[in-house]
Amino acid sequence: MTVKGIGIYCADTAASVAFYQHYLGARVAGKAGDVTTLELDGGGVVELIQLSAEDAKAPIPDCDDGREGFWHIGVRVKDVAPLAAELHQAGVGFFIEPVFNPIAKVWCAFFYDPDGTVIELVGGDQEYSQVFDAAAAARRRAVPLGSAALFEHVAFTTGDWPTCRVRWEAAGYTVIGTLDLSEGDERGMLLYYLGDDRGLIVEVFTYTVQTNPPLDPAVRRGFAGILADEPTRSQLPLSPAGRLADGRTRYFDDAGLAVIDAR
């Protein structure tokens, strides 16, 4: 299974397209019914799924990085400060203001798209606390940055890393390395990075404290699901939990992470 991007439930697709084009250099790759597909540098895609007028009135869920399930997408940029300043000037909200991470040795910032999906800006070549796959880490750093943002990773939170690791390794992923942020986070934050050399990096957040329950699968605002090739219950495993308007199945694992078949 290869992660190709994410799907997002949108209240206003046109506004979201303009947002991703302007700030992240996205390109419209196609449109089918209520789904508009955007491509970003790095090969990642964002599918914007237009909500019905009624569903578009639903409130945007609060952001909680300690909640099991999807957390954010990450994009690499040459310099965080100019883009962050432009976002601030436009009134875009931030979950975490620009800050230098002395452990990862990168600048980062976390802001919201029009539907509350969190996007991380990463400036620089990240260091790991521990490297498990030096070749994969080198390949990650070697990906060139163009003029636009490079879609690099999808992040989620789990309360059961050992089980999560077994499942993702069964899906063809290996652990690249870790980032230990426990010293600066009272929750004992430890990040794991997984890759398969084909799709996006998967960044997994773990804590020494108990994680919060995932969002109700019925929530239809913001994140809709990770886009992946042929997700199957035998790999993660996944259980079907409803369909999108275009007929694709929306799956969930037992920790509340949603997955959608990539087009």
Residue range 140-158: average pLDDT? 89
Which residue, 261, 24, 224, is CA-closest to 119?
24
Separation of alpha carbons 119 and 84, rounded Å: 11
CA atoms within 13 A on the CB side of 235: 16
Q: What are the respective helix, strand and coil percentages of the chain, to the nearest 5?
A: 20, 40, 40
Q: What is the pTM of this model?
A: 0.96
Q: How does DSSP classify residue 52? A: P
Categorize the per-residue pLDDT at 1 as very low, low, confident or very high, splitting at 50, 70 and 90: confident
Tell me the pLDDT tens digit for each residue of 169-221. 998 999 999 999 999 899 999 999 999 988 899 999 999 999 999 998 888 89
Separation of alpha carbons 173 and 101, rounded Å: 26
Tell me the pLDDT tens digit for each residue of 214-234. 998 888 899 999 999 876 667
Domains assigned to the chain: 3-60+216-261 (3.10.180.10), 69-206 (3.10.180.10)
Count of other CB atoms within 10 angstroms of residue 229: 15
Categorize the per-residue pLDDT at 236 as very low, low, confident or very high, splitting at 50, 70 and 90: confident
Separation of alpha carbons 162 and 180, rounded Å: 17
Give the pairing of strands 35-39 and 45-50: antiparallel
Which residue, 149, 182, 166, is CA-closest to 43?
149
